[in-house]
A = this chain, B = another copy of it.
Amino acid sequence: MSIHRHCSFELPVWIDSFLDSWQESLQTNTQRMQLAIALAAENVRRETGGPFAALVVNEGSGELVSVGLNLVTRAGLSMAHAEIVALSLAQSALGHWDLSRPENLQLVTTCEPCAMCFGALPWSGIKSVVCGARKKDAESSGFDEGDKPDHWVRSLQRRGIVVQCSVLRSEAVQVLEQYRQNGGTIYNTDRDFGKN
């Protein structure tokens, strides 16, 4: 009996030149969100994945640690949401699973986390989360965000994770809408629990 032992995913190659051309500062949460939204828009424009992107940055210095894009269809992995990709690539870059050391890191994501990504945040060691679009925005564009506890922000805060929502929300929503208008794949849409 032989089984598959190896799993991997990879960001598209355009990431490097895109980041090289990005000259803006990453000092503020708004500036960080601008980069995340630009990455999500580029992912849609290049048709390399869903309309979601995320960053891991050093909360204090703004240094970029990792980038995540939604790679579900590209990688063939349902867990490859932008947040999981960004957190995992940050852990791969740093060589350990705990992002709480040596310095506080922040996840910046163009949409508030789905049920899976919400659950992944405390395990990652991340200390701060900044979100753009809201759950209902993603659902309006046809995505199912799953069942999170009602008080998910408070739940994270109790675990020492600072949460800020609706940063550049309307700009983040525009990317979701662009994807929908392009006829992008809304995975899970053929299931009976889907929103469309």
Which residues in A have some Cβ–Cβ distance to B below 8 Å?
Answer: 1-11, 13, 15-16, 19-20, 22, 64-67, 72-73, 75-80, 84-85, 87-93, 95-100, 114-120, 122-125, 144, 146-149, 152, 155, 158-160, 187-188, 191-193
Contact A187–B19 (Cβ < 8 Å): no
Contact A160–B192 (Cβ < 8 Å): yes
Q: List 23 A-B contacts (CB under 8 A).
A: A1-B16, A1-B19, A1-B64, A3-B19, A4-B66, A4-B89, A4-B92, A4-B93, A6-B10, A7-B85, A72-B97, A78-B98, A78-B123, A79-B87, A80-B97, A97-B187, A100-B191, A115-B115, A122-B144, A123-B187, A125-B191, A147-B149, A147-B152
Contact A3–B148 (Cβ < 8 Å): no
19 new A-B contacts at CB < 8 Å, known A75-B97, A80-B97: A1-B16, A1-B22, A3-B93, A4-B92, A4-B93, A5-B10, A7-B8, A78-B87, A78-B98, A79-B88, A114-B119, A114-B123, A115-B119, A116-B120, A119-B119, A123-B146, A147-B152, A159-B191, A159-B193
User: How far, in angstroms, from A89 to B13 measured CA to CA in the complex?
Assistant: 24
| Residue from the list B5, B76, B149 in contact with A97, Cβ < 8 A | B76
Q: Which residues of B contact A96 (CB under 8 A)?
A: 76
Contact A92–B119 (Cβ < 8 Å): no
User: How far, in angstroms, from A148 to B152 measured CA to CA in the complex?
Assistant: 10
Q: Which residues of B contact A160 (CB under 8 A)?
A: 191-193
User: How far, in angstroms, from A146 to B97 measured CA to CA in the complex?
Assistant: 17
User: How far, in angstroms, from A149 to B119 measured CA to CA in the complex?
Assistant: 11
- In the complex with contacts A15-B3, A193-B159, A119-B118 CB distance below 8 A: yes
